[in-house]
Amino acid sequence: MMIARGEPILQIDSLSKSFRGLVALDALSFEVYRGEILGLIGPNGAGKTVLVNVISGFYSANSGTIRYRGQDVTGFRSHELSRLGIARTYQNIRLFRRMTVLENVLVASKRHAARPFSSAFAVTRHSDIAAAMAQLERMRLADKADHLAGSLAYGEARRLEIARALAGEPSILFLDEPAAGMNERETEELSADIRSCRSAVDVIVIIEHDMELLRELSDRLLVIASGSKIAEGPPRAVLADPDVIEAYLGADHDDE
């Protein structure tokens, strides 16, 4: 896929983050462009999840700049960034297990996010339900809409997290190890599901250790180690880079 090299959707400039003297991100810079899937990889402790936590407002950067659609959003809180269009999933599944699958998506809708202290179900419009069901259809969960989220199989719960993230109508979707714990069949199905999300968002960024999945999905790979960028480019070239190979030698491929 050809990626237009115009104004980037997301621009990270010299981003740094430390925890009690331990450097997690070290003057990291990169850009993400409209229409692409960016794979984010690195060995254990590289700083991948820390990076997403900083970009999505869960951590504050020590220095550097985050620009979203040209706007400086450095220091914005997570709920502010969510309303602007930055969404994410998590390594550990976070669902409302005692709510139905449909309700999990409805509470994440853009209208509910704009009124977080109102009941999501006191006045639920048909358009809201239709929009939520469309996301469940995309993730092949429409037939489970009335089931409790806690009753879902593991792979289904992962897909519900993605559907819920999409309900906020984001521009950027971060997927944090979406294939973790999945078998080969589930991973193949997930790949197709992620491809189906391309029409719903401008950018997808995937943190993942499954290199086959990233080879199949990613337009570009960004590799970080010890909080610094060591390689960036087309998947085939990046995975053959000696620095990338060296960074992964002896790594157990667990994230931080």
The token duo for 139 is 């993730």
CB count within 10 Å of CB 149 equals 23
Q: What is the pLDDT of residue 105?
A: 94
Whole-number Cα distances in Å, 136 to 57, 130, 244: 27, 10, 37
Which of the four pLDDT bands, split at 50, 70 and 90, describes residue 249?
Answer: low
Q: What is the pLDDT of residue 112?
A: 54
Q: What is the pTM of this model?
A: 0.87
CA dist., res. 229 & res. 169, Å (int): 30
> Between 165 and 249, where is the model more confident?
165
Residue pLDDT, tens place only, 121-143: 544 678 889 999 999 999 999 99
Question: Torsion-angle region of residue 141: left (phi > 0), alpha (psi -120 to 50) or beta?
Answer: alpha
Stretch 205-222: mean pLDDT: 93
Residue whose tokens read 């943190």: 207
Domains identified in the chain and CATH numbers: 1-84+170-256 (3.40.50.300), 86-167 (3.40.50.300)
Residue pLDDT, tens place only, 82-103: 999 999 998 888 899 999 999 9
Residue whose tokens read 């469309």: 134
Whole-number Cα distances in Å, 22 to 25, 28, 195: 9, 15, 37
Residue pLDDT, tens place only, 15-72: 999 998 899 999 999 999 999 999 999 988 899 999 999 999 999 999 999 999 999 9
